[in-house]
Amino acid sequence: METMISLLGTVGSIISVSVSLSPASRMMKVQKTKKLDEVPYLFLLLNHLCSLSWATYGFIGGYGAIMINNGISTVIGHCFIGWYHQIKGDLASYMLVYTTAIFASALILISFIPIDIIGWICLISNFALYLGPLETSSKALAEKNPNYIDIFIIGICQVNSLIWMSYGILVQNNFIVAPCLFGAFLCAFQITIYVWANNWFPMPIYEKLSKLLANKK
């Protein structure tokens, strides 16, 4: 059992860091095009806040794998948000306001907030994180345009959810299991939209789904 927990924690840590790195290709593209509306900014922001809360939870609760991977993800997320604001042209304001707020929040969490409350904060932030990509998925659904969905980000989030859900089950921690189960369903939903927008469904399924969506409009 301990070996399996350690293995899942290690694999989950690697994949979690990969989730944080996944926006890199899109950011490099936007660096050239300056089309900031193609950046899943809400995902970047929520992923950063979620990583910060989980890193704090792991530190206080003694979950080494959770603390390390989310600590790394927090730093990566901070860099991506800074990159976005560098393209936008307001990096100085971002560094002054947002960075100060983030470090103050981390200090408050570590110093004053009980671990159960931090667990609930992690739970809520995780739910919000998985809802974040729906910002662009709704556009993909409305316009039937798969370009709004970064399938690499969604795919790796799906794998990440399943691995950490398994980890949570083994360590018997519902704060870990619940958001990961929710995330797995949401990722599957967004993958379905992506497949539909690309006309990759078998024809009978595609026709029924198209009619259903047309009726809802």
Which pLDDT value is given to residue 124?
87
Average pLDDT of span 30-51:
83
| Distance of alpha carbon 7 from alpha carbon 125, whole angstroms | 25
> Binning pLDDT at 50, 70 and 90, where does residue 211 land?
low
> Binning pLDDT at 50, 70 and 90, where does residue 207 land?
low
pLDDT score of 38 more than 80 = no
Please count the CA atoms within 13 angstroms of the CA of 102 that sit on its side-chain side: 23
| Distance of alpha carbon 211 from alpha carbon 207, whole angstroms | 6
What does the pLDDT look like over 88-131, one tens digit per residue? Answer: 888 888 878 888 888 888 888 888 888 888 888 888 888 887 77
Average pLDDT taken over every residue of the chain: 81
pLDDT score of 184 more than 60 = yes
Q: Which two tokens stand for residue 151?
A: 């399938």
Which pLDDT value is given to residue 215?
61
